[in-house]
Amino acid sequence: MIPFLHERWPVFHEDNHLLALYKPAGLLVQGDETGAANLLDLAKAWLKQRHHKPGRVFLGLVQRLDRPVAGVVLFARTSKAAARLSAQLRTRQTRKVYLAVVEGRLPSERGKLTNHIERQDRLSRIAPQPTSSSREARLSYRVLETADDRRLVEVELETGRKHQIRLQLAHIGCPIVGDARYGAHAVLPSRQIALLAREITIEHPTRHEMLSFACPLPSGWPWPTPNIPMNAPLWSWEDYGIPV
């Protein structure tokens, strides 16, 4: 596996049209007003150096992860790929699977959640009834393991709303561990939340074959997991210690 900026930072896939990278928790996907490091700019610099590219490097952001979330992020290396991947995501032709460690007990071992979500400034909320500004949010889940008052849950998204998983799980009394914004009892030391973008499946934009990119459990993930490899990716951005 190709390393990215560190021997424990994997590149899941690279070809002329796609780049699939690991995003550690705490790293922005895209730059914002803070000027903090972000995966998009780091990836452009890496490609420029790796392929000795003159001038500016094109890299299209076709999906996003919240800053405190870790996992797989997919980029497009051409405008054609960006348009086609964006269309797949918009029309729900992709499959996105997450792992979450949650507080409390879910209503059943597996199930589906359907809500209407409204944006309110930097937060989202569940609307009691559909409104002109709300959007339907759907996901399915299954409980994989239980330990004390926590559950390890696999979540598959059917829609892609901002903060959807965080909000819908919190709404049924099971906030994600560390997610104090949506009701968790405490923050984690590096302000991560226990949500991992585990796998994404897409159709390649030019070869028209199905591809799946899966993220291994990172070192430091807050669930008792035996036999995590010594070279597993690090959960937190700050643990990489990369100067930017």
- Kindly name the residue from 15, 32, 41, 66 that is annotated as catalytic: 66
Whole-number Å distance between alpha carbons of 9 and 218? 10
State the alpha helices, DSSP H only, in 51-163: 79-90
Give the span between the Cα atoms of 216 and 218, in whole angstroms: 6
Neighbours of 72 (CB within 10 A): 25
| 28 Cβ contact list (under 8 Å, min separation 6) | 34, 36, 37, 38, 39, 67
Which residues partner with 157 through β-bridges? 96, 139
Distance CA 45, CA 108 (A): 46
Distance CA(16)–CA(202), nearest Å, equals 16
Is the backbone of residue 178 left (phi > 0), alpha (psi -120 to 50) or beta? left
Whether 149 is catalytic: no
Distance CA 114, CA 126 (A): 10
What residues act catalytically?
Answer: 66
